[in-house]
Amino acid sequence: MTAATLAAPATPVRRTREGRWANVVLNVYMVIFFIYLFAPLLVMTLAAFNAYDYPSVTQWRGWTLKWFDALAGDTRILQGLRNSILVGIGVIAVSIPLGLSGAFILTRLQSRWNGVLYGVLVSPILTPGIILGISTLIFWRNFQVPGGLFLAMMAQATFIASYSMLMFLARLQRQDRSLEEAALDLGASSVHVFRRITLPFLAPTIFTAAVIAFLQSIENYNTTVFAIGGNWTLVTEIGSRFRFGLSPVINVIGVIFVVLTIIAATVYVILKERDRKARMAR
């Protein structure tokens, strides 16, 4: 009997042990990952209910809701939030049509220059936000447009439109164009084909791109701070307060956003589950 034959029966045992160690390592990694992910959120939430004058959980002064009242009376924060929402809506209105146009050009235009055009259209994503903000400010000053909400919207749309384009591009590459070609052969106009076939096909991506564009806009700082001028958004106002020390009001804002995110995610999952069940019932 050879040595290889004697060692063969031990192979399943070694595999079992290796599988157990792999599960242990994976479980430890997942625990560390979730602690790393949620510990800052837990600390931020606790600090929002701490009576101490600065964001802290180590110096506990008791539970309080006074920072929620302070947020309701902070006019600059509330105005910054309104400005952020206005800029975000404007970014959606600009970036979605631009991104969709770029995706149509790349998918419908058969040219050897498509690779170059793709690189040009994606380049704003790779450009530092500081450069985008400054270049937008310099460009629009030639037209006597000062810094403000409009320039912040245009500066953000320069790179958010590229993200939207990539999402539309991925969707259009999966489209079966035979329906469009059949409709055109039957005499339908290009506008009618787009409205009745292409647009419904792109509807889920349009909604997703709009949500992502809004979220990217509302959290953007590097680009916005150079184009906003004398105005401010929620993020730039929070950034400016770092120089003087933050109060737990900022933690309250974080708590509100976390709660809204959980509610939105829960509603989305419920709607998707209902849609899945409805499709299975057909």
Q: Which string of DSSP letters, residue by residue, matches 126-175?
A: HS-HHHHHHHHHHHHHTTT--SSHHHHHHHHHHHHHHHHHHHHHHHHTT-
pLDDT above 80 (res 38): yes
Q: Where does residue 151 rank: exposed (0-12), middle (13-18), buried (19+ CB within 10 A)?
A: buried
Whole-model pTM: value is: 0.83
Highest mean pLDDT among 102-111, 121-130, 269-278: 121-130
Q: Supply the pLDDT for residue 111.
A: 77
CA 132, CA 158: separation in Å to the nearest integer?
A: 8
Contact by Cβ (8 Å): 155, 227: yes
Tell me which DSSP letter residue 198 carries: I
3-state secondary structure of 234: helix
Per-residue burial over 165-191, b if 16 or more Cβ lie within 10 Å, else e, is bbbbbebbeeeeeeebeebeeeebeee
Tell me which DSSP letter residue 51 carries: -
Q: Supply the pLDDT for residue 9.
A: 52
Q: Supply the pLDDT for residue 185.
A: 86
pLDDT above 60 (res 86): yes
Termini Cα distance of the chain: 63
pLDDT above 50 (res 4): no
Contact by Cβ (8 Å): 248, 48: yes
Q: Interior CA angle at 210 toward 250 and 109, to 5°? A: 140
What is the chain's Cα-based Rg? 26
Condensed to tens digits (0 to 9), the pLDDT of residues 204-251 reads 999 999 999 999 999 999 999 999 988 999 999 998 888 777 789 999
CA 159, CA 94: separation in Å to the nearest integer?
A: 11
